[in-house]
Amino acid sequence: MDNKPLFHFSLPGMDFNEDYEEPDAISSPPRPSSPPPIDTPPNEFLQTICDPNSAILEDTSDDDAEFVIHEKRAPPMKIDEKVWGTLVHMRAAYSRLSIAEFLNGLFTSEDSELKKASGQFYAGSAHLNEMELWWNACGGETDQAMADWVMEKAAAICAREASHLTDRAFDGPHFEDAKALRLPATKISVKAVDEFQVKALGSVYDRVTPNLQRILRAVTTPPPGSEAKRNREFGRTMITSMALNLRSQKTNYHQAIMSLIFWDNRLPKRIVQMLNEFGISSSHAYQIKGIKALSKSVQDLARAAANDIAKIKMLPYDNFNWMSRAWETSATHKSQSHDQVAALLVILPTPDGTDAKTVTSIAQFKEKRSSGRHSIPPRQALAEIIPSRTDEAILRLPPNDPICALHLIVPQSMWLVYELLVVC
């Protein structure tokens, strides 16, 4: 029978004697009272460590007490020496037990004492240190087998995070966050659109998917010295939204808003469908339902504002000649720049010290007329109706500023336009 040991090790100047005879496993040798020197020949060393008949261990002469008192204490053993001694013992006592088998036995055993020992090992997070050592010793990311193992575990961690927001949201720790990431087409409203912020969404992802974000940051952060002008946070947020949407189409908050943006910019249906496949946008059908819901939400707001006695309303209805690039948004025309007859509901701010009822009171105008409103000198009257310097400054706003178009309709000398709702 081949009794060749399963492992072989050596230190400088030392090696095992192949002719060494293995002692009985049940008679483990006692620990030597002093460390064996590294460069001791193997036979002597093994005798020192393992031989119960060793001269050191057998020294039971009457001089013991004197020896303990007068002998200088042996210097502490180095780690190498202790490890070496342990390996020697293992080989001597259990020549067929490999280190891998030993570790497996220690960490998978059901024996209470062994579990206690392995638990102490975990308690100090020593296993993380060992894993770091093994990672470096094997070549880190250049070792394919090691990288495969690590990535498999990392993928499982990221999948678990995603699961807590999608298929296992109900049972997970982020149920409320998962609900906030779902936006049914029929629930799209002005409030939902107004509240959407990529930055805020990114913060939510940082909180509920920290490990996935760690990986995305590592991948998307450019190397030092290269181009760094772009803000990667928005892209990482989009990537996360895409990943979650591809896992579950119910997680669609970002995609829903994207589909509205695409609709507003007249992106063709087939492109929307393509981007839906990619997980960037909701489907075309969702777009249509969403716009319907959004239009209803806008109308509800307009009705509420129109019936609010605390607001000052103005309802211009005319053929508006929109300035170039002054976009009008409506449910039926998307964003267009055109001239057309339209009705606008304009909510004007209430001046300080008064209220809507007083400002819009007919009696107020009658009072002004009766007090000689038309008796002021013509020159003064003209000065009051022509644009002031402030008016002119506002009228010189950039042509693509929609406020500019509004000021053409509502003279600045009256009130600033506070809110505009388009009634479709």
Partner DNA sequence: GGCGGAGCACCTCAAATCTG
Partner DNA sequence: CAGATTTGAGGTGCTCCGCC
Residue 240 binding DNA, by CB under 7 A = no
* Smaller CB separation from DNA, 292 or 313: 292
Closest CA to 259 of 175, 333, 334, 191: 334
- Choosing from 118, 209, 240, 276, the residue that interacts with DNA (CB under 7 A) is 276
- Choosing from 13, 140, 268, 351, the residue that interacts with DNA (CB under 7 A) is 268
* Smaller CB separation from DNA, 214 or 289: 289
Amino acid 164 reads H
- Choosing from 130, 277, 300, 308, the residue that interacts with DNA (CB under 7 A) is 277
- Choosing from 118, 209, 241, 252, the residue that interacts with DNA (CB under 7 A) is 252
Residue 274 binding DNA, by CB under 7 A = no
Provide the Cα torsion 105, 107, 110, 113; round to 10°. 90
What SS3 class is residue 61? coil
Residue 178 binding DNA, by CB under 7 A = yes
Shortest distance, CB of residue 246 to DNA, whole angstroms?
10
Residue 297 binding DNA, by CB under 7 A = no
Question: Interface residues for DNA in 187-206 (CB under 7 A)?
Answer: 187
Residue 411 binding DNA, by CB under 7 A = no
CA–CA distance, 144 with 147 (Å, rounded to integer): 5
CA–CA distance, 190 with 286 (Å, rounded to integer): 16
- Choosing from 248, 295, 297, 299, the residue that interacts with DNA (CB under 7 A) is 248
CA 60 to chain centre: 69
- Quickly count: other Cβ atoms within 10 Å of residue 240's Cβ: 24
Six token digits for residue 338: 């055109």
Six token digits for residue 324: 């170039």
Q: Are 157 and 211 in contact (CB under 8 A)?
A: yes
Question: Interface residues for DNA in 335-374 (CB under 7 A)?
Answer: none
Binding track, positions 151-170, relative to DNA; x by CB under 7 A:
---------------xxxxx
Residue 184 binding DNA, by CB under 7 A = yes
Judged by CB under 7 A, how many residues of this single chain contact DNA? 34
CA–CA distance, 354 with 68 (Å, rounded to integer): 102
- 321-324 own/partner pairs: CB under 8 Å, 24+ apart: 322/405, 323/399, 323/404, 323/405, 323/408, 324/399, 324/400
Residue 283 binding DNA, by CB under 7 A = yes
| Binding stretches for DNA (CB under 7 A) | 166-170, 178, 182-187, 245, 247-250, 252, 255, 266-270, 273, 276-277, 282-286, 288-289
